[in-house]
Amino acid sequence: MAVCAFLSKRFPLVRGRFCSKAPGLARTVVRKLWCASSRSQLRGVEGNRGLTGKVDRFGGVTVDLTDTGLPEDISEGAFSGLLRESLVRWRAEGKVAVWLRVPISLSRCAAAASTHGFTFHHAKHDRAVLVLWLGEGESQLPGFATHQVGVAGAVVDESNGKVLVVQDRNKTTNAWKFPGGLSDPGENIGATAVREVFEETGVRSEFRSLLSVRQQHNHPGAFGMSDMYMICRLRPLTYDINFCTRECLRCEWLDLAELTRTSDTTPITARIARLLLHGLERGFGEIDLSMEEIPAIYSGRFYQLYHRQLPSLVTHI
């Protein structure tokens, strides 16, 4: 009945001829019409030359379906045929992998790709990325990013040995800690620390150094993935507190020595407070991991390298 309803709607003249007497023939007609439609769609995509994409330096090819000129109503069957021809070509060319970016509007293409061995790599906003390893042996492709990066800022007033601390409003224990939060994509950790400190406390500051890195796996706040938590030393540019009451319960300039002794803090905060006291007494050069921007060899971009300062007798190479 469904076949007859389809024919009735699309091709009313065939209803009496096929539906009443030959439902089997009607289904055959529909299959032929569907196949003809798929072939027509294939011919309309770049002359049926297959999919095209960008080749990376590792021998993989990335195909973004939003850039291929596919018809918006392309069927699974039509796309599957197009992908099959493309895979034959890529294998002949020695490509080692195919990355397929599928917008949510063409999600049916993901189902078609799965029949050729593609699996999900990751999804983001309005698109998913599927991947297929074509090289020899087990897949050598990297997994999707598995970490989140949190950054806190220890704003130290060197004139009086005090540091800016907050108590989070939504924590079960009201412990003193350094203000901070998650780093935004593409944001340097120093910029994150400065931004988060200002958003939570109203105090403006500038980045001076990286102090510590904590690594924690299976983090409940990171969907069970890994968490990197970094604490930076900042220098205050303003001192008046105007803290965010939505995020913070309290905010104060607290003496570093007191912060090392109080039980109303976290273990990592107490440890960094002792480190900062050592820096105040012996010089921050003893504890700082300073940052230097260095050009990357392969990409031409710049990266940030954090390390202890070299002794003055050692010159830069």
Catalytic residues: 199
Question: 149: buried, middle or exposed (CB in 10 Å: 19+, 13-18, 0-12)?
Answer: middle
Task: Give the C-alpha distances (Å, rounded to integers) separating 51 from 54, 106, 122.
Answer: 11, 15, 21
Distance CA 167, CA 266 (A): 11
- Please tell me the number of Cα atoms within 13 Å of 86 on its side-chain side: 27
Distance CA 254, CA 276 (A): 13
Task: Give the C-alpha distances (Å, rounded to integers) separating 257 from 104, 128, 204, 252, 277.
Answer: 55, 51, 23, 14, 7
Largest CA distance in the chain: 98
